[in-house]
């Protein structure tokens, strides 16, 4: 689903564990690390997209996570010119994403990159909260910074059970 401005609608997922570390995954056959993300399909809600992408990219089920919050606004990034497929219709110049913050409540053994026919990741680790900003590909740095800045108060709050309900 690409909007009139050329941005593909999708979701991005920041997953943290009990130690306040973030799930960080390496793309198959690349030295590129990122959070799970993906585009919306026709007729899907944002929440449905998030759970589908979570399952496809990590193998996790809804009961392995708790939704803590989501970005109120769409967060955008533009693709570098060399990654834009100019012959595709409609033309996609970047992504607009709703970001979800999820608390991982399952066991690490639940991660399974073979949950979909075409795995996107081949390695993962739990990392310190701000590390992804330093390591993500350059054109995503700004959107990662915005999202992590929005989510930091939810990850580092003192009362663990003070999560609130969100509507997405």
Number of domains in the chain: 1
Residue 51's domain comprises: 7-155
Find the angle CA(60)-CA(65)-CA(55) to the nearest 5 degrees: 25
Handedness of CA 67, 128, 95, 121 (dihedral sign): negative
Flag whether 165 is in a domain.
no
Query: How far apart (Å, rounded) are the C-alpha atoms in residues 102 and 42?
Result: 24
pLDDT above 50 (res 54): yes
Flag whether 2 is in a domain.
no
**Percentage above 70 pLDDT, the chain:** 93
Flag whether 110 is in a domain.
yes
Q: What is the pLDDT of residue 159?
A: 60
Contact 57, 25 (CB under 8 A): yes
CATH number assigned to the domain comprising residue 43:
3.90.79.10
Flag whether 94 is in a domain.
yes
Q: What is the pLDDT of residue 165?
A: 46
pLDDT digits (tens, 9 = 90+) for 65-78: 999 999 999 999 99
């Amino acid at each position: 689903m690409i909007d009139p401005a050329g941005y593909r609608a999708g979701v991005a997922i920041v997953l943290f564990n009990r130690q306040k570390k973030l799930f960080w995954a390496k793309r198959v056959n690349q030295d590129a690390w990122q959070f799970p993300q993906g585009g919306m399909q026709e007729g899907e809600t944002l929440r449905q997209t998030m759970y589908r992408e979570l399952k496809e990219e990590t193998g996790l089920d809804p009961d392995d996570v708790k939704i803590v919050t989501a970005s109120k606004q769409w967060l955008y990034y533009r693709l570098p010119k060399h990654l834009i497929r100019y012959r595709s219709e409609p033309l996609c110049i970047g992504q607009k994403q709703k970001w979800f913050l999820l608390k991982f409540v399952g066991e690490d053994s639940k991660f399974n990159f073979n949950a979909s026919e075409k795995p996107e990741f081949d390695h993962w680790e739990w990392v310190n909260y701000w590390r992804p900003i330093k390591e993500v590909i350059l054109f995503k740095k700004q959107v990662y910074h915005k999202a992590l800045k929005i989510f930091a108060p939810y990850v580092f709050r003192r009362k663990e059970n003070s999560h609130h309900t969100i509507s997405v």
